[in-house]
Amino acid sequence: MSKDYYKILGVTEFDSSDEIKIAYRKLARKFHPDIAGDSKEAVLRFKEINEAYEILSNQVKKSEYDRARKFYNYAYNNNNNSKKTDNYTSSPQANTKSFSFNWDEFWGKKTNNQDIKKNVKAPKDGVNVTTDVEINAFEAFSGVTKVINMLQTNICPKCQGKKFVNNSTCVHCNGKGELNSYKKFTVKIPAGVKNGAKIRLAGEGTKGINGGKNGDLYIIIHVQESKNYRTEGLNIYRTIPITPFEAVLGTNVKISGLDGVLNVKIGANTQNGQKIRLANCGIVQNNKIGDMIITVEIKIPKNLTEEELLLYKKLAEISTCNIRNEI
């Protein structure tokens, strides 16, 4: 069971060493066996308070502990999508399969220097990292390859996150204990990918240390909503605007399809809302292929030139049709 030493002392990581000392003294007095008695609970509590203070009153141990706590928290929240940031004490099994950090292991049962030394060298797994990638509907249909530039934070390999080497500040990480670097990943996003799909890049999370396993990188795919496309099963639905004269005379419209440019033939006397089915131009999945269904929408162009307006006027004068005879 992992312990939150801050919770035990009723302080936060932002409290000063004086505040931690005051909190410790208050609790130590309250739970001292002379006052609280020697019941099992009281003795355990007294032991816990002393253990917490031993770590939090020592700057080196405290910074090690803070780092461990930060990673634990990070992995816990990342894997549970939980907002319960203070729930450190839940059992490791309840957290995640890939993250198995245990403070007791980290510190040893007794926190004497020998044990700390030994346990700091114990293997520690890296944590999983997630990142988001946005693709458009078209890329989702046809699949796409994306290059992702990820900022990675890893424990400094020189000082192993301890910030010091031979009692002086680690020059490799400038005493931060961590190193930030960018790494490029080329990710192949498969055709037909759905919004919210996850792609796992094994071992590309933060690095494990002392032989611990690397975390994984999860890429969450966000498919942008598109006004131009809608899908239903393997079929793709889209709208093509045409002018009134194109509707009357017919035309050919070029649109982008999954495998290149598609030539759509709009027949003469096409009505608004008329549908055209392009067979086998939809999404390909599991050896099946859908259709593309086009809805024609007649649009009146704005900002007509004077010449165009004259032609419309002429058309109005000479027109013989009566489309309202049934009203």
Interface residues with Zn ion (CB under 5 A) are 156, 158-159, 170, 172-173
Listed in sequence order, the residues at least 6 apart from 46 whose beta carbon sits closer than 8 Å to its beta carbon are: 28, 31, 32, 33, 36
Residue 225 has what DSSP assignment? P
* Whole-number Å distance between alpha carbons of 48 and 6: 11
CB of 165 to Zn ion, least distance (A): 7
CB of 163 to Zn ion, least distance (A): 6
CB of 167 to Zn ion, least distance (A): 13
Structure tokens at 164: 């010091």
Residue 321 has what DSSP assignment? -
Q: Which of 326, 301, 180, 317 is nearest to 241 (CA)?
A: 301
* Whole-number Å distance between alpha carbons of 303 and 320: 26
- Residue number, 156 or 258, with CB nearest to Zn ion: 156
Rounding to the nearest 10 degrees, give the CA dihedral for residues 4, 5, 10, 12: -80
- Residue number, 158 or 213, with CB nearest to Zn ion: 158
CB of 139 to Zn ion, least distance (A): 40
- Residue number, 29 or 172, with CB nearest to Zn ion: 172
- Residue number, 3 or 124, with CB nearest to Zn ion: 124
**Helix pair angle (113-120, 59-80), 10° resolution:** 40
CB of 60 to Zn ion, least distance (A): 14
- Residue number, 9 or 170, with CB nearest to Zn ion: 170
- Residue number, 173 or 217, with CB nearest to Zn ion: 173
CB of 47 to Zn ion, least distance (A): 34
Strand partners, 149: 184
